[in-house]
Chains A and B, each alone.
Chain A
Amino acid sequence: MTCAQTATPSGPAGADGNLLKGLDYSVLQQCMHCGMCLPACPTYVATLRERSSPRGRIAMMRAIADDRLEVSRTFAEEIYFCLGCLACVSACPAGVDYTTLFEHARAEVERSRVLAAPKRNIIRSLLVNTVFMSRRRLRTMGRAMRLYQRSGLQWLVRRGGLRYLLPRSLRQLEPLAPAISRRFTEAVFCRLYDRRNPPQPRFRVGLLVGCVQDLAFADTNLDTIYVLQQNGCHVAVPRAQECCGSLHAHNGELESARRLARANIDAFVPESLDAIITNAGGCGSHMKRYDHLLADDPDYADRARIWSARVKDIHEFLLEIGFRRPQSPPLQQRVTYHESCHLRHGQQVSAQPREILRSIPGVELVELNRADWCCGSAGIYNITQPEMAMQLLDQKMVDIQATGAHLVASANTGCNIQLECGRHRSGATVMVTHPVTLLAAAYRRETAR
């Protein structure tokens, strides 16, 4: 019988540059392989194969750090098969920091280029390193896409045979593309909302508009601003803000993620704000980790700590400040709530959105079976692993329909896009919304009275 592990602790950076060897060994060692996370992991439950479980993935990472295993293609594929849903984090009594492990594993896969292939490289560099590095570029692309969607070209592609002219990978992607908003957040904010900021605010907050969130759900952002103002907050929407960087961190581009984090800290000046608000579970979960991300950056480490302490999910913040319960005439609506993984597992925000929904006159909240089970969106997982993603989505739609709800509320860009897609696939009549949108509507109904 051999001893579990005998390698000596690696230095701050693995001698061969390997990021898993460079990682603080105690993070790997924290997993005591009890298996308590197995039933929480969607990829394990689907495959019943240990390597597709959190315990298995961590064991592989540790074996690599110990030089017992190579960073192979199989390892890489497994790490990209992981949803990054963090259900294992909630399930783990031992307090394993799977987020750090997962980010380092994906970064190591990219560093070692085991998956490198010309097509993959082009797509990645275009998406992760170009478009999502600049919101200006993203907005330009968004406008082009809106044109495509409104001009009838989309109709031709979807219904007419044009679809088959697209390469297969794009063909699968096309239905996932969200409808692009007519107007983006800042423009409307400057025109309408900035002057409605309360003269003597209780709190000064900044809003992260998000990259895709701003393209696809600018209205949710506006609702968020409205709700904050209704609760006595002065809202700022810094123009120089960028994408939060979660997409980059979760896809092995830690350096790009760091660049975006620094840009956001500079744009918001966290020292001047009571809170930095986000309404997207994925963004919030990542932004709360800027302190980890920039821990070794002498210029930003301190500011990142302030930043992380002040980032609040909108629901979390509203409950903390004792939000005003709407007094609108009741509007009967049967609503169910789907938990964004990164809100539930990444931020442990779970009761608050439900509390907000329950506060709305006329809302009947019906619990969703397996509400915290991943819908398959998982960042760009639905693009990289369509099969598993669609399997999860179809399951989710069955659960949603079983509630008999007219509305499904969810608080994450990826989830809301994915659920929209699920609605089309399944032909369900349920509408997808955000808890804050329902709250804003209730506040608006108060004055309409």
Chain B
Amino acid sequence: MSRTPQEPQSVSAGVKDLLPRLRSLLGKDRVLTEPEDLSVYAFDGTAMLHELPACVVLPESVDEVSGILSLASEGGVPVVPRGSGSGLSGGSVPSPGCIVLCLVRLNRIEAVDTDNLTMTVQAGVLTQAVADRAVAAGLFYPPDPGSIAISTIGGNVANNSGGLRGLKYGVTRDYVMALQVVLADGQVLETGSQCVKDVAGFGLKDLFIGSEGALGVITGITLRLTPPPASKKTLLALFDRMTDAADSISRIISRQIIPCTLEFLDRVTIECVEGYARIGLPLDCEAIVLMEADGHPAQVAEEAEEMARIASETGAREVRTASSEEEATRLAAARRTAFSALARLAPTVLLEDVTVPRSELARMVKFIQETGERHGVRVGTFGHMGDGNLHPTFLTNEREPEALRRAEQAMREVFTETIRLGGTITGEHGVGLAKKPYLQQQIGPVGMEVMRRLKSTFDPQGILNPGKVFD
């Protein structure tokens, strides 16, 4: 990824030839080519990445998706799958001259099976709609990314997204039972089943989870649901030192307590979140940890008590208990706005997604803080700390080259340190474009080679989300 400006790509000859056929497939209202439309699909939630597509298509059925891919592979035109464009690694930022295939209109919930505890949905259904529908059926869909209100379930699968409850409940992958995927040539693959166990052939479905739109277009998903927890308790621990907060989390884990949620917010983030949400977060401490225990009431009470005790032992100034379900919900909702709220402070927010073994949290937090100071860059850090997953967010301005250069240097150093500590450069946001330069360093040449081979098996022409993850 170079950050040098280029002329926007003009409509490639390939796409021009396809347009009449795309229009007869979808109708002209769902094939967008006006400059206004192209300009608004030129980015996702990631800072500074921008590229105009050649056209945008809005299919409404798997047959239409299949038809689009047949045409695209025939014409050798790149296709970039897109959900809501909330991604944070540039995964759905257009590749030059591509068709953006936006799945938001595949938004039907097909079935909820309360006998088998599953739900079958189209890929464009919003994650929140999945969660709400599960509740309505007396069930529970645990993965709850910060973007739950906007992200599509297809985007979650393609990025294997995590959430606030990942610590106890795992990530999106743990809930995918079956997938319907349209392959690069338009064939429709059904993989996985409603069965709890299924080893018929290679685990193909798993290959598509986290594939970032580079191996196939996910159109349908069967999700596993669980019974809802019988009770919950939410705590808020206040710390005067960031490293104490990180330490307390390491200790909770090493004492073998696995609560539902352990979320960390530093002072900068707290101020921003409070500036938006106004729910009375403490503004005079260096860090807070949001803890939630759920399950059987007796176990919840015990876990909560134990966590509060560990936090106090590790230097928490105060541990508050949410007085009601509403207050707990408000806290979690406010936490979800952390990333966007940080943009109150600076025009450009460069976000990382580093994840380290949980014993290394305090070391990592300290390193991030010092790196920011060394380069004169303001950093706000928050994250799913119980998963070891941190989102240091570098506050800068893309229009000030000097400041930007310093922020990017700080980011590089954080990546290197992460790998040194045995961590990963991305825990949940994916590689996309933003982390592509660091992937080789993380997974090594053999890993890269296997990925290339896989890619050429599924997508021999290289038309699916080209230029993402690796070149």
- The answer to whether A and B interact is yes
Q: Does B105 touch A at the CB level, under 8 Å?
A: yes
- Evaluate contact between B48 and A35: CB separation under 8 angstroms: no
Do residues B149 and A36 form an inter-chain contact, with CB atoms below 8 A?
yes
Interface stretch, picked from B156-164, B189-197, B338-346, is B338-346
Q: Are A50 and B398 in contact (CB under 8 A)?
A: no
Q: Which residue on chain B has the smallest CB distance to residue A59?
A: B40
| A4-B337 contact, Cβ under 8 Å, with A30-B343, A60-B36 | no
B128 within 8 A of A: yes
B residues 314-355 near A (Cβ < 8 Å) are: 337, 339-341, 343-344, 347-349
Whether B280 sits at the interface, judged by CB under 8 Å, is: no
Measured in the bound complex, the distance between the Cα atoms of B408 and A186 in whole Å is: 63
Q: B187: CB under 8 A from chain A?
A: no
Given contact pairs A70-B35, A93-B276, enumerate 19 new A-B contacts (beta carbons under 8 Å).
A1-B51, A2-B8, A3-B5, A3-B48, A4-B43, A4-B47, A4-B398, A30-B343, A30-B347, A34-B86, A39-B126, A39-B128, A49-B32, A49-B58, A59-B39, A59-B43, A69-B36, A69-B39, A95-B344
Interface mask (B342-382 → A, CB under 8 Å = 1, otherwise 0): 01100111000000000000000000000000000000000
A3-16 CB mask vs B (1 if < 8 Å, else 0) is 11110010000000
Residues of B within 8 A of A69 (CB): 35-36, 39
Q: Is the CB of B40 within 8 A of A95?
A: no
Within 8 A of B (CB), among A28-50: 29-30, 32-36, 38-39, 48-50
- Using a CB-CB cutoff of 8 Å, which residues 83-103 of chain B contact chain A? 84-86, 93, 102
How far, in whole Å, are A364 and B2 apart by their CA atoms in the complex?
62
| Interface Cβ pair total, 8 Å cutoff | 129
Q: Classify the interface of chain B: helix, strand, loop or mixed.
A: loop
Residues in A whose Cβ lies below 8 Å from that of B45: 32-35
Q: Cβ of B5 and Cβ of A63 under 8 Å apart? A: no
CA distance A70 to B34 in the complex (A): 12
A39-B149, A48-B105, A95-B344 known; A34 and B41 CB under 8 Å?
no
Contact present for B40 and A1 (CB under 8 Å):
no
| A183 contacts B by Cβ under 8 Å | no
Instruction: Give chain B residues whose Cβ lies under 8 Å from the Cβ of A51.
Output: 36-37, 40
Residues of B within 8 A of A6 (CB): 5
B258 within 8 Å of A (CB atoms): no
Residue A26 at the B interface, CB < 8 A? yes
* Distance of A48 Cα from B44 Cα, bound (Å): 16
The distance from the CB of A11 to the nearest CB of chain B, in whole angstroms, is: 15
Top 8 A-B pairs ranked by shortest CB distance? A93-B337, A93-B340, A56-B40, A94-B343, A93-B341, A32-B343, A29-B347, A50-B40
B275: chain A residues within 8 A (beta carbon)? 95
Chain B residues, CB < 8 A from A48 = 58, 104-105, 107
Complex Cα distance A51/B275, Å? 28
12 examples of A-B residue contacts, CB within 8 angstroms: A1-B2, A3-B5, A29-B399, A35-B150, A38-B150, A50-B85, A51-B40, A53-B40, A55-B40, A68-B39, A93-B341, A94-B344
Instruction: Contacts A39-B150, A93-B341, A95-B275 given; indicate if A2 touches B36 (C-beta within 8 A).
Output: no
- B42 part of interface (Cβ distance < 8 Å): yes
Given the interface pairs A35-B150, A93-B337, the reply to whether A5 lies near B398 with Cβ below 8 Å is: yes
A429 contacts B by Cβ under 8 Å: no
Q: Is the CB of A74 within 8 A of B34?
A: yes
Q: For residues 1 through 50 of chain B, which have their beta carbon under 8 Å from a beta carbon of chain A?
A: 1-6, 8, 32, 34-37, 39-45, 47-50
Task: Decide: A3 and B4 in contact? CB cutoff 8 A.
Answer: yes
* Assembly CA distance A29 to B343 (angstroms): 10
Assess the B126–A1 pair: CB atoms within 8 A. Answer: no
- Tell whether A441 is near chain B: CB-to-CB under 8 Å: no
Residue B79 lies at the interface, judged by CB distance under 8 Å to chain A = no
Instruction: Report the bound CA distance from A93 to B273 in whole Å.
Output: 8
User: How far is A78 from B35 in the complex, measured between Cα atoms in Å?
Assistant: 13
Q: Does B411 contact A (CB under 8 A)?
A: no
A63 to B107, CA, bound (A): 30
Question: A95 touching B276 by the CB < 8 A rule?
Answer: yes
How long is the Cα–Cα vector from A184 to B340 in the complex, in angstroms? 47
Chain A interface residue count, Cβ-Cβ cutoff 8 angstroms: 39
B341: which of A2, A25, A94 is its contact (CB, 8 Å)? A94
B147 at the interface (CB under 8 A from A): yes
What are the residues of chain A within 8 A of B41 when measuring CB–CB? 50
Contacts of B339 in A (CB 8 A): 34
Quick check: is A92 within 8 A (CB to CB) of the other chain?
A: yes
Option from A2, A38, A75, A94 in Cβ contact (under 8 Å) with B340: A94
List, in ascending order, chain A residues with CB within 8 A of B272's CB. Answer: 93
Decide if A26 touches B341 in the complex (CB within 8 Å): no
Q: Mark B103-115, 1 if CB is under 8 A from A, else 0.
A: 0110100000000
Q: Could you tell me the distance in whole angstroms from the C-beta of A6 to the nearest C-beta in chain B?
A: 5
Question: A333 within 8 Å of B by Cβ?
Answer: no
Chain B: minimal CB distance from A24 (Å): 11
Contacts of B102 in A (CB 8 A): 50
Q: Is the CB of A35 within 8 A of B85?
A: yes
Interface size on B, residues (CB 8 A): 56
| Interchain CB contact under 8 A, A1 and B86 | no
Whether A60 lies near B47 (C-beta < 8 A) is no
Considering the complex, which residues of chain B in the window 272-318 have a beta carbon less than 8 Å from any beta carbon of chain A? 272-273, 275-277
- A: which residues have CB within 8 A of B? 1-6, 9, 25-26, 29-30, 32-36, 38-39, 48-51, 53, 55-56, 59-60, 63, 68-70, 72, 74-75, 78, 92-95
Given A2-B6, A6-B5, A68-B8, answer yes or no on A74-B36 (Cβ-Cβ < 8 Å).
yes
Closest A residue to B32 by beta carbon equals A49
Taking CB as reference atom, which chain B residue is nearest A29? B347
Within the complex, the shortest CB–CB distance from B267 to chain A, in Å, comes to: 17
Say whether B433 faces chain A, with CB atoms less than 8 Å apart.
Answer: yes
Instruction: Give the interface centre of B85, B105, B147 by most chain A CB atoms within 10 Å.
Output: B85
Please give the distance in Å from A144's CB to the nearest CB on chain B.
Answer: 42
**In the complex, are the beta carbons of B36 and A72 less than 8 A apart?**
yes
A36 contacts B337, C-beta separation under 8 Å? yes
In the complex, which residues of chain B have a beta carbon less than 8 angstroms from the beta carbon of A78? 36
The CA of A286 and the CA of B423, in the complex, are separated in Å by 51
Residue of A5, A36, A50, A60 near B147 (CB, 8 A) is A36
A96 to B: closest C-beta gap in Å: 9
CA distance A3 to B43 in the complex (A): 11
Residues of A with C-beta under 8 A to B1: 1
**Nearest chain A residue, comparing its CB with the CB of B100:** A50
A2 to B343, CA, bound (A): 22
Q: How far is the CA of A290 from the CA of B446 in the complex (A)?
A: 64
Please tell me if the beta carbons of A2 and B344 are within 8 angstroms of each other in the complex.
no
Residues of B within 8 A of A26 (CB): 347
Query: Min CB distance, B263 to chain A, in Å?
Result: 16
**Which residues from A are CB-within-8-Å of B48?**
3-4
B6 to chain A, nearest CB (A): 5
Give the complex CA separation of A398 and B275 in angstroms.
Answer: 35
Instruction: Specify which chain B residues have a CB less than 8 angstroms from the CB of A95 in the assembled complex.
Output: 275-276, 341, 343-344
In whole angstroms, how far apart are the Cα atoms of A51 and B58 in the complex? 13
Q: Which of B36, B149, B344 has the most CB of A within 10 A?
A: B36
CB distance from A330 to the nearest CB of B (A): 28
Given A1, A34, A56, A68, which contacts B49 in the complex, CB threshold below 8 Å? A1
Closest A residue by C-beta to B278: A348
A380 to B264, CA, bound (A): 46
List, in ascending order, chain B residues with CB within 8 A of A35's CB: 45, 84-86, 147, 150
Name the CB-closest residue of A to B126.
Answer: A39
Contact partners of B51 in chain A: CB under 8 A: 1-2
Most buried by B among A2, A49, A59: A2
Distance A30 CA – B48 CA, assembled complex (angstroms): 13
Nearest-neighbour CB distance to chain A for B66, whole angstroms, equals 20
Instruction: Decide if B5 touches A2 in the complex (CB within 8 Å).
Output: yes
Chain B residues numbered 175-232 whose CB sits less than 8 Å from any CB in chain A: none
Is there contact, CB below 8 Å, between B340 and A60? no
How distant is the Cα of A34 from the Cα of B348 in the complex, in angstroms?
A: 12
- B42-A59 in contact (CB<8A): yes
Give the most central of B58, B340, B348: most A CB within 10 Å. Answer: B340
B3, closest chain A residue (CB):
A3
* Nearest CB of chain A from residue B193's CB, rounded to whole Å: 31
